[in-house]
Amino acid sequence: MSDETESAGLDFIRQRVADDLASGKHRSVVTRFPPEPNGYLHIGHSKAICLNFGLAREHGGQCRLRMDDTDPSKESYEYVDAIKRDIEWLGFEWDDVFFASDYFEKLYAHAVALIKKGLAYVDSLDEAAVREYRGTITEPGKPSPYRDRSVEENLDLFARMRAGEFSDGEHVLRAKIDLAAANMKMRDPPIYRIRHATHYRQGDAWCVYPLYDFTHCLSDAFEGVTHSLCTLEFQDNRELYDWVLDHTDEPCRPRQTEFARLSLEYTVMSKRKLLQLVEDGHVDGWDDPRMPTISGLRRRGLTPDSIRRFCDRIGVAKHNSEVELALLEHTVREDLNERCPRVMGVLRPLKVVIENHSGAAENLDAAYWPHDIDKEGSRQVPFSRELYIERDDFAESPPKKWHRLAPGAEVRLRYAYVVKCTDVIKDDAGEVVELHCTYDPETLDAAPADGRKIKGTIHWVSAKESVECEVRLYDRLFSVARPGADGVDFLEQLNPSSLEVVKNARVEPSLLSTKPGDRWQLERTGFFYVDPDSKPGAPIFNRTVALRDSWSKLTAKKAASAAAKPKSPGSSQKAAPKPRQVLGDEAKDLVARHGIGEDEARLISEEAVLKTLFDSALPATSNVTGLAALLVNDVRRELKKEAKLPFGGSKLAELLNLVEDGTISGRTAKDVFAEMARSGERPKKIVESRGLAQLGDAAELESVVARVVLESADLVSRYRAGNRNLLGALVGQVMKATGGRANPRAVNEMLRQKLG
């Protein structure tokens, strides 16, 4: 499909559906969402939900909800109910719920039919031998000794497998396809296995279960699915999907199309890892507000609208990329700012006594909505002799440009008067416990009559009338953007500050009757959601998101601190960083729409060549952050040497996509870019002509890893004894054995699994 088609407003999947309807290939659209009921749905699933249900809704079609429940060891009704609840909460509905387990008899019959056609056989090799016989990417597989069993013997063995005569793993039913196929998935893949386990719906009726690639395509066909949408990891499965449909007697022929899955910073999407977090007690259940599960996001306070808006914003692409968490947070702030009334709350109260106040509470008008929101509403807040302010809004020895309260300083109380601190009361330990102030009664909604300037405004609550509450301050679950990368145990990268529980916080009395599910903005603090654990008169507030990106500010502070450290003798001295420049409207739009960094957005918006390349590359890649980095670093560097570049945006997108789909490493991409800048050749052609592609076949890589493990017995023994630093040495051995063509991350993961 051309860039022009995509730029017309349709992503490649919607364009394909539109073409199928226009050509008469399909008269209606039927999609499906087929989760496995072995865990709770997470935000990655929300993208698939929005796409499948949304696509059907756009064309007046149907989206099937199907539980892909063919693994009895992990599935339960708890997960089925949670899946249905999450989809409904996101705003989608289905006509009926389908279960792959309801098709077991039909699937079994299709497997028997394949045996009768000579297209399937019972193999008695164990799992390790099956992998060995499958061959490598450069060597064809070799036939199993059991591949030529007669049809009669295969039918007998398969029936006995179903009857429960054999133990788990003793036999497997394999499709008989092509042992020399370039696609390893086609080298006689297993389609049925023995598993003696009680199924949550079928009980003990079955002890043989169909595998995913056999079940998935036939279930689609049974349900009349027209467009089977999968994430990119199933791209190689498509050939097997089509083979099964070609050789079974089903009139419906769904078409599988792959799209990029949603990968998000500072979290994990693996159900296995999420389950481990729950079972090991690192979080408080699947709905812990720190979890990326939809139920966790719901309890944190995100709205269905914000998640749907986020999925729409990141779009549908052909290549995997990682989305910055800041983009999700920006989308959530944008949504909550439009729907949350503003109130005042004090998280860490410091008592203030207004000495010249009469003591009688005075009700002041306060607006619920900011001026830039087209909504009206107000409430009254009591102003009395004793108040609470935020402890952080007072400094006994204030720094320069401090515009909050300090001894002898004045500040305005939000919606109220100007107050001046006259005395500081401390306890025996020297801690400030109370402030004495005076107020100017002529400054309600007015500047001081004598013209003095009041630069600061702080929030407050009445001490007597305010409501005591608990506040839970949630932050990112992990302290690094890519947990588990480079062979590190992801549990070691949990953020110890991901939850702070603040007791004895105070909110204004208008929140006394708030109930679970309500959302509020606490002024100057953040957006909050009333947790289901709340009791009448004792609310619990979960912070959904702060008003600003405090994480990036903390990172900048650390970087500035590191830069300020004295250099060692002889080291080069760098110039002090320039002050941050104000972003223009175009740069702000780039940040808001694509989530790229402010500095990158400013350069791209200000330099015409970069902006042209950005706009032309954008429709062809989903890696927007990578595109921005490539432009402001490599491309700008090249422009300093050559006024005219021998490539355009499409080639930059192609280069990024080669990295994203794992064809080449990031380091190799540097070399490819250098050659592309020299010759103008397409990145893909450079990679092919120079043999730069990474080793992409999992089976071949697994074979190399197994060989290295066997040949490095001493390193392996020391690693298992606790010397985890040796993992790098083992990775190096594998990289050497593959001539540097293996993906280091894949090697890391495979070695960690192999070594336990």
Instruction: Give the model confidence (pLDDT) of 447-500 as tens digits.
Output: 999 989 999 999 999 999 999 999 999 999 999 999 998 889 999 999 999 999
Name the nearest CA neighbour of 296 among 540, 544, 488, 578: 544
**pTM greater than the 0.85 cutoff:** no
Q: What is the mean pLDDT of residues 730-745?
A: 72
Euclidean distance between CA atoms 593 and 611, whole angstroms: 15
Q: Whole-number mean pLDDT of the chain?
A: 89
Q: What is the pLDDT of residues 203-247, one digit of tens each?
A: 999 999 999 999 999 999 999 999 999 999 999 999 999 999 999
Q: Are 523 and 342 in contact (CB under 8 A)?
A: yes
**Angle subtended by helix axes 713-720 and 698-711, to nearest 10:** 90
pLDDT confidence of residue 69 = 97
Is residue 177 pLDDT above 90, yes or no? Answer: yes
pLDDT at residue 525 greater than cutoff 60: yes
What are the extents of the domains in the chain? 338-557, 585-690, 698-754
Q: How far apart are the first and last CA of the chain?
A: 45
Kindly state the average pLDDT of the residues 309-338: 91
Span 680-703, average pLDDT: 79
The CA distance from 20 to 229, in Å, is 15
Can you give the pLDDT at residue 464?
94
CATH of 698-754, one of 1.10.10.410, 1.10.3210.10, 3.40.228.10, 3.40.50.1000: 1.10.10.410
> What is the C-alpha to C-alpha distance for residues 122 and 252, in angstroms, rounded to an integer?
28
pLDDT number for residue 582: 60
Amino acid residing at 56: A
Range with top average pLDDT, 115-119, 556-560, 637-641: 115-119
Whether 298 shows a pLDDT value over 70: the answer reads yes
Residues with catalytic roles: 36, 261, 271
The residue count for the chain: 756
* Triad 440, 445, 450: Cα angle to 5°: 50
The strand pairing partners of 342, in sequence order, are 521
Average pLDDT over residues 146-153: 98
CB 723 within 8 A of CB 714: no
d(CA 27, CA 60): 11
Q: Which residue has the higher pLDDT, 318 or 726?
A: 318
Residue 578 — pLDDT band, cuts 50, 70, 90? very low
Report residue 640's pLDDT band, with 50, 70 and 90 as the boundaries: confident
What pLDDT, on a 0 to 100 scale, did the predictor assign at position 542?
Answer: 98
Determine the pLDDT at residue 533. 94
Across 168-172, 388-392, 539-543, 726-730, least confident range: 726-730
- Cβ atoms within 10 Å, residue 699: 16
Q: Which CATH architecture has domain 338-557?
A: Beta Barrel (2.40)
**413 token code pair:** 């109380």
Averaged pLDDT for residues 104-116: 98
Rounded Cα–Cα distance for residues 628 and 321 (Å): 13
Q: What does the pLDDT read at residue 660?
A: 74
Per-residue pLDDT at 579: 45
Do 390 and 412 touch, CB atoms closer than 8 A?
no
Residue-level pLDDT at 603: 86
φ, ψ (nearest 5 deg) of residue 21: -70, -40
Average pLDDT over residues 530-543: 95
Tell me the β-bridge partners of 695. Answer: 742
Rounded CA separation 448/440 (Å): 8
Amino acid at 178: D
pLDDT surpassing 60 at residue 565: no
Percentage of the chain modeled with pLDDT above 90:
65
